[in-house]
Structure 1
Amino acid sequence: MSAKELRRTKKHTEDSRRFQSFDETFKYCTYGLAFALIYPNRVTIKKRLGIFVFFMFANSIQLYWFGTALVTSLIRLDMVNLTRHLTVGILIILFIFKTIYCIYNTEKFENILNTISDDMIEFNNEKEAFKDTCEEYIKKARIGQLVWVVLPIFLALQYPVYAGICLIYDNLTMDYPGRYMVHEMDIAHLTAVQDISPYFEFIFIMSLLTVMCLVPNFIGFEGFFCISTTHLCLKLKYVSYIISKAFEGAEDSLELNNKIKQGIQIHQKALKYYEDLQNFFEPWLFLIFVMTSTCVSFNLYQVYILTSPDPKHIIFGITTICHTYINCVYASNLTQCGEDLALDLYNVSWEKRFDIRGMKLLIFMIARAQRPLELGGYGIVVYNMQLFIAIMKTSYSFYTLITN
């Protein structure tokens, strides 16, 4: 067979597979994980850790300037600059935590990702009716992926774009134009010359590169949360599909019981996958609960204290609220799918077959499906829409406290 025929055969085989692996299905998330050095590959753990250490060392000057400005604001009790620096500091803390955490827990991360890939490939063997359901949930996961492509890029670009617009406007309209940094702060040891060339350009470029390096981390990890939770919803639908097909298509009692046992095994795998998700995301979910609540409060304070609204703080606050809202939505969808499973199992055609053993197995599955599938942090917070409302109320309460 010629090389051309081999390529044609390979392409035909790939086209016949409606669903592919995680890397092929969710490319944006995969690229984000790879560029952020957190794609779960056990072979590259040491290499990724080494690159991360080098990256932190390369940005050590920036971190030193930022840390000095933060400590100075704290010593002076300068709440305006302190809250402004802390909003950016929260992003840096989340970036460092997620990178180290994902590298350290590569095995857990890899198991979840491989489960998604294996399931996607396995679903190619099912009938078209269930494949349509798969397409529906893949679209939901891709929506979450797309949201986490747009939000981090939009948030990161608003800093240099805003500074650039202000620089251009001042140069066109003023004899002595001002200088605007990516993030305004007093640069340690360079305060007197930080607005003079070439120091200003050097600081601006370094700040721009640092900000843009944070983007892949949020695209990859937050996007993966939306994808993995949606995939669990799909696994639960797969359980109800298998049980429904068992009661509708089994020819005798033996075949019925065997197919129900297959459904039980798939259900147990789904529950194991849920436990893996909870164990892996738990520290991160707790951390972002604390961080986003604080961040929203600080941005409200900035909007309140300034004489004229600053677009940067308004955009940052909206983005932070969206961060919390999206996570709560996808976690709530998972909980709802878990509740729907018990109803879906009850609605199968069990009344058409009087099989005592099959009925007992089905009752066992219905009882097991009534356990709530909730994602949260250390039993302190549970992610759902009630949590989102509570975070907004808490943030406003904290805002009123610091304004007083």
Structure 2
Amino acid sequence: MDDELEFKPFHETYRLITFSLCIAMIYPNPRTEKWRLFSIPILIATVAPVAIMIFLDMYKCWKNGDIVNIIRHSTVVGPFLGGFFKMILMYHKRVQAKQILDEFDRDHYMFNTVAETYKDIARASIRNCQIYSERLWACLVTTCVMTFPVMAIVLNIYNFMFKSEPTKYMIHDLEKPFSKEPEERFESPYFELLFVYMFYAAILYVVNFTGYDGFFGLCVNHACLKMELYCKALEEAMMADREEVYGRVIAVIREQCRMFRYVDLIQDTFNIWLGIIFIATMIQICTCLYHITEGYGFDIRYMIFVYGAVVHIYLPCRYAAKLKAMSMETSNRFYCSGWERVDDERVRKMIVFMIARAQVPNEITAFNMMAFDMELFLSILQTSYSMFTLLRS
């Protein structure tokens, strides 16, 4: 039956995000709760050795006063460990996340029964999400992370094919713990085993950021779609027969209330994560810039990484600003819907309350305190640059 429907549930509409959420043990399926509770600690344990090795090397660098390598390690390991925090956080918020998915599925099934004008709006929104919030986001994350292993592979192949004394390159250069000589990290089979291990870590890196962050973008865009649809429904309701207007306006109010509850779910599910990336991204942009300018020469990998960090904080700010602007625009749409032509006093009073409620903007906040919008994005960039300038001095 579902195969015949144009609009399908979330897991069939956004297959790439769903796949990433499942692989990352984030997809809120009640039937897999016990499996995820068992698997998440095991998955974290598999990456604990590389994290411990990095922290040991950072401690060694601290003792030697090697700030550049401390920053190089922290730039990579911070977001990497943050990906596993997302697993724990999403498991904690699994009920709210499941309700968000249920709202997606409910709306998508409803789209199959509405008029063609509404379907056109839904098609455009879903298509936009599939291109920008799903595919392009996945390509960006993959490019930022996989540049490290790809460049290491290419350089190793080139050196072994064209140089008599080839130099080995690691995915993330890391000294062997408790070794006396730095060159011991290039000895076989340690080098080969660590290379494969770090490649596995890079794949987890991509999966964690593709699924969770992409899911947030889809959620916010869907809220904007819901507003667009009930604004259109109100405009058409004002042109209906007098006997139908009241019932159709009541339906719009119900959808408006559902949208408010849906935005509250998004806020409850993601507000801790937004607060963490607000702080972490400022530090990451600063440290990446410092490593590029003050490290051991220009490194294209970290240049791509800093662009990825900027986009990583830009998109949540952009999505939240879009939601805020759209929620404020609904009050204008309500006012211009043609309610003055309706001679039903009940309808007119309801429209007044709908306009008043829509004038209070829907905002997505970090830690339930800081509103995400484009002004916050500019503030993050300015603060990051100030920190970078202070670090250089």
Identity of aligned residues (%): 28
State the secondary structure of the residue aligned to 1:226.
helix
Shift, 1:340, TM fit: 1.1
Shift, 1:34, TM fit: 0.6
Task: Please name the residue that 2:237 is paired with.
Answer: 246
Query: Which runs of 5 or more residues in structure 1 are unaligned?
Result: 1-9
Q: Is the 8 A contact 1:148 1:218 kept in 2?
A: no
CA distance in 1 between partners of 2:11 and 2:180 (Å): 47
Distance 1:97 1:140, change over 3 A: same
Distance 1:206 1:307, change over 3 A: closer
2:101 to 104, 107, 113: 113
1:352 to 303, 327, 341: 341
Q: Which moved more, 1:227-236 or 1:55-64?
A: 55-64
- The alignment's TM-score, normalised by the length of structure 2, stands at 0.95
CA deviation digits over 1:276-327, x for unaligned, max 9?
A: 1111110000001111111000010011113531111101101111111122
For residue 39 of structure 2, what is the amino acid of its counterpart?
I
2:217 to 222, 226, 244: 226
Q: Is the 8 A contact 1:376 1:383 kept in 2?
A: yes
User: Which runs of at least 4 in structure 1 moved beyond 4 Å after TM superposition?
Assistant: none
- Tell whether 2:186 aligns with 1:195: yes
Task: Please name the residue that 1:7 is paired with.
Answer: none
1:47 to 22, 27, 35: 35
Aligned pairs (5 A) from 1:90-129: 90-129=78-117
Q: Is the 8 A contact 1:19 1:123 kept in 2?
A: yes
- Tell whether 2:150 aligns with 1:161: yes
Task: Please name the residue that 2:255 is paired with.
Answer: 266
Task: Please name the residue that 2:388 is paired with.
Answer: 399
- Tell whether 2:24 aligns with 1:33: no
Q: Is the 8 A contact 2:231 2:334 kept in 1?
A: yes
Aligned pairs (5 A) from 1:4-403: 10=1, 14-15=3-4, 17-142=5-130, 143-190=132-179, 192=181, 193-252=184-243, 255-306=244-295, 308-403=297-392
Q: Which moved more, 1:241-250 or 1:263-272?
A: 241-250
Q: Is the 8 A contact 2:8 2:105 kept in 1?
A: yes
CA distance in 2 between partners of 1:109 and 1:48 (Å): 15
Shift, 1:381, TM fit: 2.4
Q: Is the 8 A contact 1:65 1:188 kept in 2?
A: yes
Shift, 1:54, TM fit: 1.4
State the secondary structure of the residue aligned to 2:188.
coil
For residue 133 of structure 2, what is the amino acid of its counterpart?
G
CA distance in 1 between partners of 2:256 and 2:47 (Å): 47
Q: Is the 8 A contact 2:84 2:208 kept in 1?
A: no
Q: CA RMSD in A?
A: 1.5
Q: Is the 8 A contact 2:51 2:77 kept in 1?
A: no
State the secondary structure of the residue aligned to 1:182.
coil
Shift, 1:63, TM fit: 2.0
Distance 1:123 1:191, change over 3 A: farther
For residue 207 of structure 1, what is the amino acid of its counterpart?
M
- The alignment's TM-score, normalised by the length of structure 1, stands at 0.93
State the secondary structure of the residue aligned to 1:171.
helix
State the secondary structure of the residue aligned to 1:125.
coil
CA distance in 1 between partners of 2:85 and 2:187 (Å): 35
Shift, 1:123, TM fit: 1.6
Distance 1:93 1:60, change over 3 A: closer
Q: Is the 8 A contact 1:282 1:377 kept in 2?
A: yes
For residue 98 of structure 1, what is the amino acid of its counterpart?
K
CA distance in 1 between partners of 2:127 and 2:317 (Å): 18
Q: Is the 8 A contact 2:242 2:342 kept in 1?
A: no
Shift, 1:173, TM fit: 4.2
CA distance in 1 between partners of 2:108 and 2:257 (Å): 18
For residue 66 of structure 2, what is the amino acid of its counterpart?
D
Q: Is the 8 A contact 1:151 1:319 kept in 2?
A: yes
CA distance in 1 between partners of 2:107 and 2:242 (Å): 27
For residue 234 of structure 1, what is the amino acid of its counterpart?
L
For residue 393 of structure 1, what is the amino acid of its counterpart?
Q
Q: Which moved more, 1:377-386 or 1:31-40?
A: 377-386
Q: Is the 8 A contact 1:242 1:263 kept in 2?
A: yes
Shift, 1:61, TM fit: 2.1
**Matched residues, number:** 390
Query: Which runs of 5 or more residues in structure 2 are unaligned?
Result: none
Distance 1:58 1:14, change over 3 A: closer
Shift, 1:24, TM fit: 1.0
